[in-house]
Chains A and B, each alone.
Chain A
């Protein structure tokens, strides 16, 4: 880049405005991205980042404002047109066809004829180069969230974009894989590709991005060079106040064992699933245990074995509060005091077309909502109102349908519903996936409160920061086996990161894992 002549920006947006019936999503937003620049867009959920990106990608039409692409005034009316211009986007909510394979999904996004064999080779090439391992023949419905995101990233990279938009891309990667991705992104940038990087992980933004534009409530509150800021000043620009600090007291000593997994071995019925091998784990009252791991290494299978959605032959393989529950269904396990927050919110954790009140009934019915088999809707509605209030769920009220809530708000609702049942054992998968920083911090604080009150908490997450922040002990899952447990303060991101590739001492899976990132 020559400093003497002013280069034409790759993308320049002036006065973008988009109004939805209930909310002004973008209010006079300006954004300039230079060629080869990695530009962060930072802001809480609902700050207007997604609306801005959708306008750039042609998914929605702005009400006002102009977009210049390499100096030319453009009117982007469809994602197809955006792709023709050279804009690629990796969505936070995946746009993949579940019944098609990875290669078929990628083929659909590419212009020209289908050549699945050739495409599969290119997918493998790109996936190896960027540390995003994926088998092109697998069906998307059998992929975990993390794996789906890899498909999205690869799909964009195959189109050689000149502007790549990434929406929270690192939340499902190991630290080593994040570093690899950063290398990739830096390489892409040095080749002249511009990158719009949406994230709430301030340390990553500081490490990676040249420039950051900060959004709050639809308006730009600042543009800065992240390297010259501290996470604290960035956070203040983002949420307008300082983030509450989480105090992590000492775990209670010698609490009773609430969950014991004792030699759990389970072959999966899913051709693309992961077999669980000889898993041992104990979670005691008053502690939070975290399971780290790259998605698709047996997390889903382990969670189903714990929740009871998949029952076991060996009734002693899973024990709750001393009771062997291997053959009990989820409802029976819940009556022993288990609560569970699954990874998928709509369709599993909540029924999309039912009201929030009815979604409370789904699991919280034991809390005085039934009288001889009949529903007391009043009690359920009061519970829903309380949950909405305590967990600050933004919605139209307890009568709103679950699917009308944003992902983050629905997550708060589901976590709230499970926490409010005073569980003896709480199991959570990806508790803060897609939730904004303020709410994520609130959820984590609630989990710590619960632990301090004596609940045993098990968290399965792909976000290492989160696990290190709240967990007393950590364990890693790779290829369906569990590593030894580590007290959180006696280990670090580096060690856990290596373990996530299956390479812990005496590991039986080291060497044969394909998930090494």
Chain B
């Protein structure tokens, strides 16, 4: 059956419309999406709910291939096969994490950094690489320390936004950490802090949170991305559907980076009925790791058993 010129034109036109619709359809950010969030009693976009990131940013903010573990050692070469170098094609999990097998592997990820480049100063790029190589000893997550901002947002744990008028709480499950977003005027913190000081304001549909007063102890991910106490984060939370928030964070730290840089990701509503933030009091889980090397004193003999 031959197609007339007229019907071909209709097919092409339909395809063009479909292509246009497809191009328009993914809601990539709050700016292009006309979605209007439901309102709270005081007329603000309602951000209440339990939210969670579903990505691999907690492993590495940047694009990364899959690998067998976070802590790796070089595979020993096999030189006994003439004409072949039969070393294992990938590095091997370090002894301390080898027993985890595939459960200790790192899934690949496209990354969440705009342009995929984190603009480290040269010394800081070297520091980041070293951090990654010493992940087991250095990552504050392993010791159950408060994760800092923005890391708390995309750890593989849910968090809840509890939206008051003057204060908005973010209750993270990991390490029972909370943040107060001050919608009214507050003085700076008397000292540097793990989670910083959060000052919020509304920009139309978006909650903008300006975060300062950090210490230099937290990381951005398990890959060793880090910052100094000059860290300044500006976060933007925008409802883009009944089930999504778009999260954006601009990260500036003149002691570590050459320019500000940005991450962006959707956050998903945990829609299970009655979903709650449960306890993850991990201090109890890491005491053996942190203090166990001191052993136990035998009260009868005074001997220390390790």
Q: Do A and B belong to a common assembly?
A: no
Which residues of chain A have a CB within 8 Å of any CB of chain B?
none
